[in-house]
Each structure stands twice: as C-alpha cells, then as structure tokens.
Amino acid sequence: MSKERLYLYDTTLRDGQQTQGVQFSVPEKIAIAEALDAIGIDYIEGGWPGANPTDSDFFAARPETRATLTAFGMTKRAGRSAANDDVLAAVMNAATPAVCLVGKTHDYHVTTALGITLAENLENIRASVAHMVAQGREALFDAEHFFDGYKANPDYALDCCRTAYAAGARWVVLCDTNGGTLPDEIGTITRAVIAAGVPGDHLGIHTHDDTGTAVANTLAAVLAGARQIQGTLNGLGERCGNANLTTLIPTLLLKEPFRSLFETGVSEEKLKSVTRLSRRLDDILNRVPLRSAPYVGASAFAHKAGLHASAILKDPSTYEHVAPDCVGNTRLIPMSNQAGQSNLRARLKGMGIEIDPKDPRLAEILDEIKAREDRGYAYDGAQASFELVARRVLGLCPEFFEVKRYRVIVERRKNRYDQMVTMSEAVVVVKVGGEKMLSVSESMDAEGHDRGPVNALSKALVKDLGPYQSLISDIKLVDFRVRITQGGTEAVTRVIIDSEDGHGARWSTVGVSANIVDASFEALLDAIWWKLIRDGAEAV
C-alpha cells in the first residue's frame, strides 16, 4: 500500500513568537527558517508582514528555502474590497509563494468581536482567499476558534470552511484557538468537516496545549483524515504553546499506525537531527532545554531506576519505546542512591573503565557516592564529578596539581564618577610539579561589568596551570546552577557547573559547601580535572 503524504507546517516564527519572553531578531528568524528547511518541513510561516516590523524585515531578507515560505495575515475587513484592504496588501507585498489568512468561524466572535453580520464574514473569507488565488498565491485559511465555533453553531462554522475551500484555498486549517478541546472531540469534529465537503487532503490541524493534549489532538485529527499539521519547535506559542513538532515528527515517523500509513518531508536520516534542532532553538533563545521533553530531552532516555538500568543493559527495548539514536539523542544511565551496581558498571564502562561484577570496589564507590549525597552532593546531573569520585576510589585519578589557597574579594563602593559599583578580585595559588604559581583575576567582562566572584575565581584558576595550559584554555563555563539544600543537619549550597570545550563537548560538575564560593570553586576544579583526564594529561 502506498503511503499518504502528510504536510508539516511550522509556525515557530509567528505563533511561537507569542510565547512570553520570546522576541526573535531578523538574523534569528533566518537561522531558524534555515534549520526548519534543512530537516524537511514543508511550510515555514515567517510572521505577519505589516503587523510587526521584524516580520516585514524578515520577509525582505528571507533565505532561499525548499520549503514554501508563508506569510500570515487576516481576512479583509468588511466595507472594502480585498484589493483595497491595506492589511491584506501588506501581506501580499511580502511576495511569498503562500499566504495563510486567519478568519473567524465562531458566530459569537463574528457578531461581537468584529461587529459584522455572519454573511459579511463569509464574504470576507471568500473574497480574501479568491484575491490571493487570483494573484497566483497558494492560499491557506486558518479557521479561528473552529472547534468552539462548531460546538456553538456547526452549520455556520462549516459554511466558513466550505466557503474558503470553494474560493480556492489549498488548505483549510481547523484551529483550536483557545486550546480547550480534547482529543476525542477533535477527531469527531474533523470527521464532520470531511463529511460536510472539505476533503481531508485539504484539511489542516492547529492545536494549543492548554489541556496538555496538543500533540494527541493533532494525532486524532490526522487519524480522522486531516493531512496538514501545524506546530512549533519545542512547542513554543501563546499561553501553553502550540503542538510540539519535535514530539510529533518522531511519532509520525517511528510509531504505528502513523509509520505505516504516512510519509512526510522528513526522512529517517533527517530525523536524527531533530534533537539538535530542538537544542539549537533553545540556544538561540538562551533557554535551558527541557530535560523531560519527549524524544529530544536530555532525560528522555535516562534510566534512573536500578531495575530499569540493569534490564537496559541486557536489552534496551525493555525500557525504551524507540532507540535514542533514531532521533539523535543518547541513552543516559545516571547515578543516584537508587542505583544498583549494574548502573555503576554500565556507567564506568561508558568512561572506558571495565570492572569485574565481583570487584569489591564497586560497593566502595557506591558507599562513597551515598556518603556524599548525604552531605548534599547530587550526581545525576554531574556525571564528570561522578567519574572523578569513582576514579579516586579506583586509583585512576592523577594528582595534576594542588590548590594551596585562594582568596576572593567582593567590594561595592563609589567609583571616581560617584557611582556605586561592585568589583570582584580573585587570587589563586596552585602548586604544579614543585612549582608554585600565583594568578590573580578581576571579574570584569568585555564591557567592564562585574560578573561576580565565581567568574573571577574561574578566570584566575585557568590563567596559568603551567604544563596543562594548552588543554584548559578552551574550557568555557556555559551554565551555573545553585541550589540551597540539606547537607546533614545544616543548609548547604550545591553548585552545578556545565562546561564546554572548543569542540562543543559538554560536561557537568558539582560542588557543595555552606559557602557558595567554596562550592563553586570545587565544581570549577572538578571541571578542569575531568578535562585533563579526558584529554590524557599526565601528572608532572
């Protein structure tokens, strides 16, 4: 049986921009459009030209894409022709091959929000779509509030869809604008639309996650016959966000019945880049990636339970519904005091250390980890520090250098212009192979702003480590997380640091102390130590 084609429509650059705290620049929009194009998305909605200067600029500077670039707008207003509607003209002027126009389909919204008659609204839909088609554009009609509208007045909501279709719309997109519809209802209503005369291969689905079912709603519409899927990367979007394409794409390609029934523009090979695509968006937005995200999250294939981890070692399918490499993600067997020795052996193996299952040092390592966790350490987010603990027990951790002392000063006072300013200064004294080295650093960044005591310490620590300098000079501190936690009976500070090298490799380390500077220093030191081991440095 030949597979039916499903079309993927991305609205990260338009609906995704409605996310609180998100505001893309033009270069960011271009970078995202290129990434979407590379993975095989069919339509890229770039924004609403005319409504937003950045969106207009994006269309002016748009990249070449294989995907159909689409401008968003709304149907013409009543009392003027489509050709004379300036909002529509701005959309037209973006000169994209496709245009998506949103229009009302819920009678209440037509009469109260627009204040026009139901017939006028139908005519606005018809004339706007026909105008776009006459100008040679592929026209899409976003049926706003469609599901709520259908429940209030099914005939009218269906009339709106039929009108758009009859006027030449390539796609009529059923929008659950308020995000309140549940999967069963989505399926039932989608089937009703097809029965009313808009064929499924001209129907799209656009859902929001206000009940946590945006993905399931989308799948329900596809099973009911819709053939275009609208969504965003990482589920960005107004309120709770849109249907998440980084979840939907793997499901469509990997899971039954979708895998057997449909094909999309994303190949199995391209699917392997979906994790990278998801992280890339977070990178651009400077957001911390959601660890628990389906398929692409750092925890999506993390097996913390001891029983799970030991089964995974025998056969990954025991606790994984798909293989992580299908989506370019990786399996993680984290350490924690729920973990058994099988977790530990797997983890050590991942570090290149083979240990006999009967080796008594396995228990010794677990005891050491547990004792440290009781003091406030946490190792499932700090694999590099875990490795160092294990290596120390196993005698596989060279003594590269010794920290003799450090001192940090934070001072806030008036500068010569009578402004209050803060400065931080750190001195670190280390002994490398018999030689004592003193380093001092301030915490100022390139613009002269204080970045705080940990920054100063970090810079002083890596300033001069003699023979190791070439190995540590590309270490960059990329994230820093602080938690006040319980260590024994006292509150202590736990610091987790993510570091990155020049090749983009990342590792995480942990430090714990009642003193936040001390905790940070410990994590910084672990980060350097781990890098030296990984790069095969030898103690001098």
Answer for the pair 15, 232: CB distance below 8 angstroms, yes or no: yes
Q: Does 109 bind a copy of itself (CB under 8 A)?
A: yes
In the set 30, 118, 298, 353, which binds a copy of itself (CB under 8 A)? 298
From first CA to last CA, the distance across the chain in angstroms is: 67
How many other CB atoms are there within 10 angstroms of residue 38's CB atom? 14
Q: Does 112 bind a copy of itself (CB under 8 A)?
A: yes
Q: Does 506 bind a copy of itself (CB under 8 A)?
A: no
Cα 460 from Cα 442, distance rounded (Å): 8
Q: Does 301 bind a copy of itself (CB under 8 A)?
A: yes
Q: Does 311 bind a copy of itself (CB under 8 A)?
A: yes
Using CB under 8 A, which residues numbered 269 to 288 contact a copy of itself?
286, 288
Shorter beta-carbon distance to a copy of itself: residue 54 or 65: 54
Q: Does 503 bind a copy of itself (CB under 8 A)?
A: no
Answer for the pair 340, 304: CB distance below 8 angstroms, yes or no: no
Q: Does 318 bind a copy of itself (CB under 8 A)?
A: yes
Using CB under 8 A, which residues numbered 412 to 441 contact a copy of itself?
412-414, 422, 424
In the set 69, 130, 216, 528, which binds a copy of itself (CB under 8 A)? 216
Q: Does 401 bind a copy of itself (CB under 8 A)?
A: no
Cα 524 from Cα 418, distance rounded (Å): 35
Cα 82 from Cα 124, distance rounded (Å): 8
Using CB under 8 A, which residues numbered 116 to 155 contact a copy of itself?
none
Stretch that binds a copy of itself, among 29-37, 359-367, 384-392, 487-495 (CB under 8 A): 487-495
- Across 161-276, the runs of DSSP E, i.e. the strands, are 171-175, 203-206, 228-231, 262-263
Which residues, 6+ apart, have CB-to-CB distance to 521 below 8 Å?
406, 454, 457, 461, 511
* Least distance between a copy of itself and beta carbon 176 (Å): 9
Task: Give how far the C-alpha of residue 157 lies from the chain's centroid of Cα atoms, to the nearest Å.
Answer: 35
Q: Does 408 bind a copy of itself (CB under 8 A)?
A: yes
What are the structure tokens assigned to 509, written together?
């380390």
Shorter beta-carbon distance to a copy of itself: residue 175 or 537: 175
In the set 120, 359, 373, 464, which binds a copy of itself (CB under 8 A)? 373
Among the listed residues 158, 171, 234, 159, the one whose alpha carbon sits nearest the alpha carbon of residue 205: 171
Q: Does 332 bind a copy of itself (CB under 8 A)?
A: yes
In the set 269, 315, 356, 399, which binds a copy of itself (CB under 8 A)? 315
Query: 256: phi > 0 → left, psi -120 to 50 → alpha, else beta; which?
Result: beta
Shorter beta-carbon distance to a copy of itself: residue 288 or 363: 288
Count the site residues for a copy of itself by CB under 8 A: 120
